Chain A
Amino acid sequence: MTSPLRHTRRAFTLLLGGALAAGVNACGLSGTGGRSITFRVGLRTALAPGEDTVGVFTTDTGWRVELTTARLVLGPLYLFEKASPLQPQALLRRLGDVLLPTAHAHEGDFFSGGRVLGEWDREVVFDLLADGGQARVLGRSPGIAGVARSLSLLLRPPSRALGVEGDVMEGHSLLLAGTATREAVRVPFRLALDFPPPVELQRVDFVPILADLDEEGFFVLEVQPHRWFTGTRFDRLPVPAEGSPLEVGPETQVHRALSVNVRRFDAFTGAWEPQEG
């Protein structure tokens, strides 16, 4: 409840504050450096090259995959100011690095991306097929204006903080179902991935981005499921019984390939859409 006294107090404070601030704020900014912003964060499933449907793509091993279920527990997401060490560099610079290697002081962390300029600090269950390639807006997030050059995110089992939203994951980090087809072979499959602690095995690092973060822009994390299936050999799976999907277990090549690929730096990417106008 807001009392009249509170209004009076606020008016009084504003009056005095205005007078005092006028002198100090004459120069506008406090001079501490940086600029805080607020921007929107969203998720989107990327279309595979040459495809116009989300969740449909052809792997480099020739399998045509059509996903019917794709859910992922994702987050938090961090946008770093430093570039990914895996980011492609100019040939000349790479040559220079070989000839004149630079000494690096150990910064103490596995990957120190420098300052975090933006983040989505919660986890979310993302249905990759639900929005048909359109971005799902998660919400607004505070940040610092500047160019973010890499991102990092966590893949982990759903925590209690997710509540009922996490129930659909049945305790897993990633659920996939669909059909892989090559020539006359058709492999309906279901697969679940788990990424338990330690956090080093949950983290997707070094994702190169180039996002000039600023007020009221929109940062979209793009999930690239077509890259997850790079090198998968569905032909090595046992032939399933007619009509029933094959449960892809952790002992299989497909499971192992997905487990590695989902945490590769190119399994995700990011895009920045500045505020229009």
Chain B
Amino acid sequence: MSGSVWLPLLLIASSLLPGLIIFGLAERRVVVRTLLNLTGALLKMVLVVVMFWGVYHGQQYEVRLALLPQLDFVLRVDALSLLFISLSSVLWLLTTVYAIGYLEGSPHRSRFFGFFSLCVTATVGLALAGNLITFLLFYELLTLVTYPLIMHRGTEVSRRAGKIYLRYTMAGGALLLLATVWLYTLTGTLEFTYQGFLSDMATQHHPTLVIIFVLFIAGFAVKAALVPLHGWLAEAMVAPAPVSALLHAVAVVKAGAFGIMRVVYDVFGIDFAVLLGVTGPLVVLAAITIIYGSLRALFQDDLKRRLAFSTVSQVAYITLGVALAGPIAAVGGMVHLVHQGLMKITLFFCAGNLAETLGIHKVSEMNGVGRRMPWTMSAFTIAAFGMIGAPPVAGFISKWYLGVGAMAVDQSWLLLVLAGSSLLNAAYFLPILHAAWFREPPETWPEERHFGRKETAWALLLPPLVTALLALIVGVLALAPFSPLAWVQFVVQQEFGVFQPKTNIPN
């Protein structure tokens, strides 16, 4: 039994402790810092593998600590949290490697890596949170530790971005606090439970519960960047590339999406949410965000801004999958949590490579860049096709399940939204690919750096190649056991109450 208590704590500590130690390290102690970062990241991966094995075999992992006389701080590992944790731990390792290469020789690296580790700690904490107050705790922590990362460059622009980020997220956090306390006064519990814990509430409370639901969604929508609360995301682009990569793939936007999942599935319960009539409006909101984000992305010349608006659109897929309230759509939304993470982090890594190696920041500067940096652009191409939803890249799987799921619950109009989004994705990604591969390169690049015979530094090149490959593999092998898809189906069975013996994982 002792292992079941220590493992979640170790999972937190494997990034928390390196982070705290790194704050105390002198700037020049590169080796120690790198060693700490990588050890922590690898240890976390090992722990995740152990837990996968355990959870699959019905092992319970839980830590409890009284926060208030009747409220506990709870860390619990369930199938859904493992999905999120494994995504964060894999991408943390890769992003750390990338960041080491990216920030080589720049100032304030101890501060950067310290907060970077804390950021991952907060994300893992979110995934492990076993009740709403613990979730809230890590959600606010995430806000606080990403702020220094966004401000990292210290320019006037990043100051502005930091300010805007705080305004949005602090307000969102306040709404969540209000919703959480209010819910607690009604129920006396905040524990995440399969199929929710509210369905027994008397009918007279239903209007109140609707308001609480709206507060929750509004609070999470800030980080999940649902329209109209997405404004901070495009501004936060001033952050260094590894930060943008992590923000868009794992940490912040996913925290919002994950929060929506937890509240819909484990607080309200999907059936009860449908009964309250709150899922319909959420579907519409998600659909609007999907189209709006893509439309805005179309008109951005700044590459990172284009990718940012693409995130607005893509993360709304997750919300859509949850809100459609059918098991098939739920699989599509949930698996997109992983798929979008892999694809989007690849795109941001590549954008960072272009900026670092050639000084390219704008789409209009990308002519012929495929010849100068073929590997980087290959990774970019795979991810872009995934975003469009072309088979066999991972994005196709998500869209397929979302489309089938929408039809299964008689919401066929969403097929138009999904198709429209794919068209728009094609409209803003294909010109980039065309320019990069088929146009003539210019005489000189804006700010070129040379790395011998390689197109760029190893630490910068390897991570996007790995993530692009992963995005391809989870797409091609989606039906294999232990693929994200298989695991998500396992989760959905639990959340929708059709729980089957664990050996019956579809494969």
A in complex with B:
no
Chain A residues within 8 Å of B, Cβ to Cβ? none
Chain B residues within 8 Å of A, Cβ to Cβ? none
